[in-house]
């Protein structure tokens, strides 16, 4: 166990504290069992270490990664028992989905060591959402960490302290942006490429992004769904088909024919891609998010994924617009499809387009707005797309 302590202290010493994401404060850190989910690279590990560094007594705390070689010869349960007997009170377990019997042992730790707090995280949203073999729904408090909003990206990049705004404030153009020498559209274009992930400032950001996407579709999903190699190849092909066509209205029959699989299997494949965060699903008003057959449109999970899947480094601005709008607003509101336009939030209709977009789609809406990507300032019922990136 000494090796685990040494690794933990080294990682802690290298953890930056200059920017702690506000998502941190949405977590009730006093709960005895906490689950933190999120796509690869959104900053879960850094946030855990920042919390430890700022709030925990290091003599009573241990942070481990479940893919550490230590666990090739030891179990999580045995580690928890030994740690608790040595005076431990808080055990953080990162990348937990890489430890096969994780849910059963977490359940046993929770039941058998009631004085030990356990915080675990992982990047395989599918595995963590389901809970694997053991039902942890009555024990674990789950949180899903999103990628960076446009506002957070600006704060990290420029050292700013811009605040979140409500949907109503956005619709009235009330955004606290430091204009002058700073132009929001310049930053927005960069954000669309790599700004969704905190490592955007690193030189290898595009490569890390591509590796994260491929790891999810080639490793995490097949492991979760117990796919054969042939099925995993078809899943990857489906991802590329969808990525070139978003926003995409699913046709199980067409996709099944293109992939050479039964149309009845297509909804399962789409569910794997949406629940992993690689794609976002837009549903009709009044329908449960779990009714996959009622999916109206499919979008990429964020605009950066489009770059990772692009063969020439060029991403379609139309895809970016609707993708970003859905990725941002769905963190705060329930977003549905609209019968007369693109999207709807709480009875408000939104049509998303370029600077020359006209308002014919929203003329019959009780309350409607145009969302455009080549505007700096709001004007009447036309709102710049970048402003919605301040909603969280």
Nearest alpha carbon to residue 389 among 318, 350, 331, 315: 331
**Which among 97, 117, 144 is the end of a domain?**
144
Does one domain contain both 136 and 179?
no
DSSP string, 115-140: T-EEEEEES-HHHHHHTTTS--TTT-
Does one domain contain both 237 and 338?
yes
Q: Which of 14-28, 31-45, 254-268, 288-302 has the lowest mean pLDDT?
A: 288-302
Does one domain contain both 170 and 85?
no
Percent of the chain with pLDDT over 90: 84
Q: What is the pLDDT of residue 291?
A: 45
Does one domain contain both 373 and 227?
yes
Angle at 37 between CA 31 and CA 41, to 5 degrees: 130
Full-model pTM: 0.93
In which band, very low, low, confident or very high, does the pLDDT at 215 lie, cut at 50, 70 and 90? very high
**Which among 144, 172, 191 is the end of a domain?**
144
**Which among 144, 168, 187 is the end of a domain?**
144
Nearest alpha carbon to residue 125 among 157, 147, 104, 155: 147
Condensed to tens digits (0 to 9), the pLDDT of residues 301-341 reads 999 998 888 877 777 787 889 999 999 999 999 999 999 99
In which band, very low, low, confident or very high, does the pLDDT at 58 lie, cut at 50, 70 and 90? very high
Percent of the chain with pLDDT over 70: 97
Nearest alpha carbon to residue 172 among 380, 391, 385: 380
Does one domain contain both 132 and 238?
no
Does one domain contain both 172 and 284?
yes
Mean model confidence pLDDT for the chain: 93
The DSSP letter of residue 257 is H
Range(s) of the domain holding residue 23: 2-144
Does one domain contain both 105 and 239?
no
In which band, very low, low, confident or very high, does the pLDDT at 292 lie, cut at 50, 70 and 90? very low
Number of domains in the chain: 2
Condensed to tens digits (0 to 9), the pLDDT of residues 111-146 reads 999 999 999 999 988 888 776 557 787 899 999 999
Condensed to tens digits (0 to 9), the pLDDT of residues 5-38 reads 999 999 999 999 999 999 999 999 999 999 999 9
Does one domain contain both 204 and 326?
yes
CA distance 152 to 161: 9
Q: What is the pLDDT of residue 315?
A: 75
């Amino acid at each position: 166990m000494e090796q685990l302590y040494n690794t933990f202290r080294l990682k802690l010493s290298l953890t930056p504290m200059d920017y702690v994401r506000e998502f941190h404060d949405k977590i009730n850190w006093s709960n005895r069992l906490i689950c933190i989910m999120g796509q690869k690279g959104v900053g879960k590990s850094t946030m855990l270490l920042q919390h430890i560094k700022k709030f925990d007594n290091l003599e009573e705390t241990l942070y481990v990664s479940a893919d550490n070689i230590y666990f090739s010869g030891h179990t999580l349960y045995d580690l928890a028992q030994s740690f608790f007997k040595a005076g431990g009170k808080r055990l953080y377990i990162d990348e937990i989905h890489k430890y096969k019997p994780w849910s059963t042992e977490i359940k046993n730790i929770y039941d058998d060591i009631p004085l030990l707090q356990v915080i675990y995280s992982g990047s395989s949203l599918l595995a963590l959402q389901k809970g694997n073999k053991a039902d942890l729904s009555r024990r674990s408090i789950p949180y899903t960490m999103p990628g960076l909003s446009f506002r957070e990206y600006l704060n990290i990049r420029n050292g700013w302290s811009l605040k979140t705004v409500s949907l109503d404030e956005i619709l009235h153009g009330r955004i606290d942006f430091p204009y002058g020498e700073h132009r929001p559209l310049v930053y927005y274009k960069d954000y669309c490429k790599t700004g969704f992930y905190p490592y955007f400032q690193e030189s290898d950001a595009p490569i890390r992004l591509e590796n994260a996407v491929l790891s999810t579709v080639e490793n995490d999903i097949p492991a979760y769904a117990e796919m054969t190699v042939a099925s995993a190849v078809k899943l990857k092909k489906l991802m590329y088909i969808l990525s070139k066509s978003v926003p995409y209205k699913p046709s199980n029959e067409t996709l099944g024919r293109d992939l050479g699989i039964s149309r009845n299997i297509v909804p399962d494949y789409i569910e794997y891609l949406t629940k992993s965060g690689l794609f976002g699903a837009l549903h009709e008003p009044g329908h449960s998010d779990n009714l996959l057959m009622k999916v109206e449109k499919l979008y990429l999970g964020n605009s950066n994924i489009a770059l990772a899947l692009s063969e020439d480094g060029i991403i379609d601005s139309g895809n970016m617009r609707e993708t970003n709008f859905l990725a941002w607003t769905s963190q705060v509101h329930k977003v549905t499809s609209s019968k007369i336009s693109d999207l709807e939030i709480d009875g408000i209709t939104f049509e998303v387009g370029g600077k020359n977009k006209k308002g014919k789609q929203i003329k019959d809406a009780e309350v409607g707005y145009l969302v455009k990507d080549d505007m700096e300032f709001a004007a009447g019922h036309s709102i710049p797309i970048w402003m919605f990136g301040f909603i969280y």
